[in-house]
């Protein structure tokens, strides 16, 4: 058995994993909300089915069957089942505990992944090399040699295949060259997605929030640990959570009232994970308190925009919104991004059907379960096309990668943008207008 959390923070309080799974009454309300159940019609691919499987393992039942592993590995961890469940059973966390108990990832992959992620300098160098391959047109060679996979970085190997652009400079390097405010109104914590793959997203966040809220300040921190958490190494995930908290504490101490400032994150998956740091630190009262303080300051950028007076954006054509699972189900954010889009796009904002359905991205899911992922992606793109959208707003790195791939293949009339890019465009237009009239 691999390392597990053992105790979970649920909406009904702190519970053992077994008690959390036992709260499932098997009512089945979650089934139609579960994308993998809807796609396959199989009980073992539903929230209810997966909860029962993990519960049986915890009761000492058989744990070696390929079917059990497949049932747990096909869970998208989207959390739609929990949103639909009256008892708020935390199925995604229970599935992750099940995967850890079974040792879903080979131990060496888990160790190597943690080794690289815990050393940001090594991760930076590995990615710079991979992007150099890409720029030199040797991307296929890099993927054939399994360069990133060899480092245990399959999730980045997936991104490398699907992201056309290879940034020449990482976001944090760019931000370090910009003046840093001594009296910031907010802190910014760069997730791996904006840092390594989409620096344009982080720059848009800085542009938009600097104008709307005042100057921001970078908290240079390592990976938030979500990758280690999802791929089995709880110890490394906990270690990373503590390093992130320490960096924030040090930065906050340098600024008057710094402990009260929001810590803005522009990848919804990472924001949701950082808000759950207390769960990773339940066993240590001191760290738990520090994790609670930190988690209380973390804000998904979409929440922050909703509090700002927003100018209109002149994006031509219809804008629709894809709900990233960890925004809606992981953080319960539903209205904020919609109010932002209504403010910037007015009547050009149109809801797509099933906006909360998972796009099938989910980290390396698109790689490990291509057929299922593609079925979910095609359904999502069909819904985007049904409202004839030109722009799709999203808020998580995984969705940006997956939707860019889906739109390119099935509906090239539309493009996906991070919500920050749309707000930054509106802010730039307002500044230009002001410049022209002054
Ligand atoms: S997870 Fe919740 S909604 Fe789903 S079957 Fe169990 S109790 Fe019912
Ligand atoms: S987390 Fe998502 S994929 Fe997994 S059981 Fe729940 S609804 Fe289904």
- Exposure class string for 409-437: b at 16+ Cβ within 10 A, else e: ebbeebebbbbbbbbbbbbbbeeeeeeee
Beta bridge partners of 416: 392
pLDDT in tens, 355-403: 999 999 877 777 778 888 999 999 999 999 999 999 999 999 999 999 9
Query: Beta strands 13-16 and 7-10: pairing type?
Result: antiparallel
Cα(98) to centroid(ligand 2), Å: 14
Verify whether ligand 1 is closer than 6 Å to residue 85 (CB atom): yes
Give the pLDDT score at 371.
Answer: 87
Verify whether ligand 1 is closer than 6 Å to residue 144 (CB atom): no
Ligand 2 atom at shortest distance from the alpha carbon of 37: 8
For the chain, which domains are there? 7-102 (1.10.1060.10), 107-162 (no CATH), 171-305 (3.40.50), 319-437 (3.40.50)
Both tokens of 82, joined, read 């929990």
Protein residues whose CB sits closer than 6 Å to any atom of ligand 2: 33-36, 47, 50, 75-81, 91-92
Cα(13) to centroid(ligand 1), Å: 17
Give the pLDDT score at 168.
Answer: 72
Which residue lies with its CA nearest to atom 6 of ligand 2?
A: 81
Which residue lies with its CA nearest to atom 8 of ligand 2?
A: 34
- For a pLDDT cut of 90, what percent of the chain falls above it? 64
Cα gap 158→149, rounded to integer Å: 9
Mean pLDDT of 289-312: 96
Cα(326) to centroid(ligand 2), Å: 12
Cα gap 356→273, rounded to integer Å: 19
Ligand 1 atom at shortest distance from the alpha carbon of 25: 7
Give the pLDDT score at 1.
Answer: 45
Mean pLDDT of 241-258: 95
CB 84 within 8 A of CB 27: no
Q: Does the structure show a pLDDT above 60 at 16? A: yes
pLDDT in tens, 110-163: 565 666 666 666 666 666 666 666 655 545 555 555 555 544 555 555 555 556
Mean pLDDT of 27-39: 94
Ligand nearest, relative to CA of residue 92: 2
Both tokens of 258, joined, read 């710094």
Which residue lies with its CA nearest to atom 2 of ligand 2?
A: 78
For the whole model, what pTM was predicted? Answer: 0.90
Q: Does the structure show a pLDDT above 50 at 405? A: yes
């Amino acid at each position: 058995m691999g390392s597990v959390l053992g105790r979970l923070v649920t909406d009904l309080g702190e519970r053992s994993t077994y008690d959390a799974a036992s709260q499932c009454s098997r009512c089945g309300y979650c089934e139609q909300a579960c994308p993998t159940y809807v796609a396959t019609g199989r009980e073992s691919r539903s929230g209810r089915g997966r909860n029962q499987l993990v519960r049986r393992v915890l009761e000492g039942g058989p744990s070696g069957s390929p079917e059990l592993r497949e049932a747990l590995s096909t869970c998208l961890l989207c959390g739609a089942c929990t949103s639909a469940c009256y008892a708020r059973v935390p199925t995604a966390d229970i599935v992750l505990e099940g995967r850890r108990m079974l040792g879903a990832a080979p131990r060496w992959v888990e160790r190597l992944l943690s080794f690289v992620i815990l050393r940001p300098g090594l991760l930076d160098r590995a990615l710079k090399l991979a992007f150099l391959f890409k720029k030199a047109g040797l991307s296929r060679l890099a993927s054939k040699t399994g360069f990133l996979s060899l480092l245990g970085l399959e999730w980045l190997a997936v991104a490398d295949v699907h992201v056309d652009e290879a940034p020449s400079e990482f976001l944090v390097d760019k931000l370090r060259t910009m003046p840093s405010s001594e009296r910031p109104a907010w802190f910014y914590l760069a997730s791996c997605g904006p840092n390594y793959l989409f620096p344009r997203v982080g720059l848009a966040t800085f542009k938009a929030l600097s104008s709307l809220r005042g100057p921001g300040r970078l908290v240079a921190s390592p990976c938030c640990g979500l990758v280690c958490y999802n791929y089995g190494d709880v110890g490394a995930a906990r270690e990373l959570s503590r390093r992130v908290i320490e960096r924030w504490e040090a930065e906050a101490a340098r600024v008057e009232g710094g402990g009260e400032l929001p810590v803005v994150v522009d990848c919804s998956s990472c924001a949701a994970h950082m808000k759950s740091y207390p769960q990773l630190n339940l066993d240590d009262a001191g760290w738990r308190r520090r994790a609670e303080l930190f988690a209380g300051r973390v804000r998904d950028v979409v929440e922050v925009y909703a509090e700002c007076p927003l100018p209109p954006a002149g994006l031509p054509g219809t804008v629709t919104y894809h709900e990233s699972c960890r925004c809606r189900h992981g953080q319960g954010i539903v209205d904020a991004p919609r109010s932002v889009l209504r403010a910037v796009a007015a009547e050009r904002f149109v809801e797509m059907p099933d906006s909360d359905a998972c796009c099938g991205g989910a980290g390396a899911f698109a790689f490990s379960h291509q057929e299922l992922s593609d079925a979910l992606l095609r359904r999502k793109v069909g819904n985007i096309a049904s409202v004839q959208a030109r722009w799709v707003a999203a808020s998580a790195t995984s969705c940006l990668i997956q939707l860019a791939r889906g739109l390119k293949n099935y509906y090239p009339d539309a493009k996906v943008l991070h919500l920050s890019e749309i707000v930054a465009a509106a802010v730039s237009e307002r500044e230009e207008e002001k410049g022209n009239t002054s």
